[in-house]
């Protein structure tokens, strides 16, 4: 597995010289940011990309560059409607793909929400846990049989998983005081644990799964944070960095942020990334130390196989389906 890539590598760097002709890829969340760039990069290298989005009108406008890249790179691009906050929408989208029966070589579970105010999905789950974890858990499991042997699942997690472990006793904040960052942390830990258990269940048939942290990117994912709160957060971060003799914090560009997704999905050795957490285009080690935006590492609870199995069982109970 190459070690030539890092925090500033872009999607084009990672995919340089790679021909994805004949490969079929599904990417959720293609109406903005990382999802659009991920789809663009893959289509530009010849992949047939299916993009999923809640708002198809918004996605159509946002993915004009994806269609152009697909045409130039002899790839393809299509859209499907998928609202991860609605079990009915998830089941309908999955049913359409299963009926179509064409396999996928890569599924990238990219869509999500961050630090949202308290709310509930259409089916009564806390918004962030319901959308980021349960929505993808149901959708991916319902189409898992379409992932071809040798294929991969990439689940978009975050360094925000270090804010909180999952709470299997109160996943919907029915008894716990709600904090938007704790809820986000729980959902991102769930994304990592889902990849861990999905990988265990499917590796025997040659399908692997990895979780990735894209890095800090200033996209519309942060729309719930607010400009003033974001400025205060950056001021605190930069004060800490200055005290440590380090340069100011730099947001990743969107192509840099999407690079780890395509690296883990296409470039990295499957055995190296399977069941692991990746960032900056490499596999991360366990780090129980300080949380700051430039530190790397994954919390042990997020890759604990027993915790992953327990979350899987809890998720099945909540959804009323077994996989």
Catalytic center residues? 184
Pairing of strands 147-156, 208-213: parallel
The 10 Å CB-count burial string (b at 16+, else e) for 118-153 is eeebeeebbbbbbbbbbbbbbbbbbbbebbbeebbb
With beta carbons less than 8 A apart as the criterion, state whether 293 and 159 touch. yes
Phi, psi of 131 (to 5 degrees): -80, -55
- Tokens in use for 222? 């942060």
Query: How many whole angstroms separate alpha carbon 141 and alpha carbon 285?
Result: 27
Phi (first) and psi of residue 125, to 5 degrees: -85, 150
Whole-Å CA distances, 208 to 28, 211, 270: 18, 11, 7
Say how far apart CA 180 and CA 194 lie, in whole Å: 21
User: What pairs with residue 120 in β-bridges?
Assistant: 126
Rounded CA-CA distance 39/27 in Å is 7
């Amino acid at each position: 597995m190459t070690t030539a890539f890092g925090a500033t590598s872009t999607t084009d760097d990672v995919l340089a010289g790679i021909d994805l002709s004949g490969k079929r890829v599904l990417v959720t969340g293609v109406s903005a940011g990382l999802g659009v760039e991920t789809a663009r990069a893959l289509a530009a290298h010849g992949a047939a990309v299916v993009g999923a989005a809640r708002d198809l009108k918004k996605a159509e406008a946002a993915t004009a560059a994806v269609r152009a890249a697909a045409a130039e790179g002899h790839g393809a691009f299509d859209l499907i409607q998928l609202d991860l906050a609605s079990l009915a929408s998830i089941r309908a989208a999955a049913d359409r793909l299963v009926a179509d029966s064409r396999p996928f070589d890569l599924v990238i579970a990219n869509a999500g929400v961050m630090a949202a105010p308290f709310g509930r999905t259409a089916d009564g789950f806390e918004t962030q846990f319901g959308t980021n974890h349960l929505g993808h858990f149901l959708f991916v499991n319902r189409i898992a049989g379409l992932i071809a042997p040798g294929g991969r699942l990439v689940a978009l997690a975050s360094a925000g998983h270090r804010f909180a472990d999952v709470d299997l006793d109160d996943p919907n904040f029915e008894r716990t005081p709600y904090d938007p960052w704790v809820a986000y942390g729980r959902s991102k830990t769930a994304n990592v644990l889902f990849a861990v258990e999905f990988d265990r269940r499917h590796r025997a048939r040659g399908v692997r799964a990895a979780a990735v942290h894209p890095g800090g990117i200033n996209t519309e994912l942060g729309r719930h944070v607010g400009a003033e709160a974001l400025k205060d957060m950056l001021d605190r971060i930069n004060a800490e960095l200055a005290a440590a003799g380090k340069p100011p914090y730099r947001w990743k560009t969107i192509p840099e942020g999407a690079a780890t997704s395509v690296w883990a999905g296409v470039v990295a050795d499957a055995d190296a990334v399977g069941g692991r957490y990746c960032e900056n285009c490499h596999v991360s080690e366990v780090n129980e130390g300080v949380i700051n935006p430039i530190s790397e590492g994954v919390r042990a609870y997020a890759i604990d196989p027993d915790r992953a199995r327990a979350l899987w069982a809890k998720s099945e109970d909540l959804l009323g389906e077994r996989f």
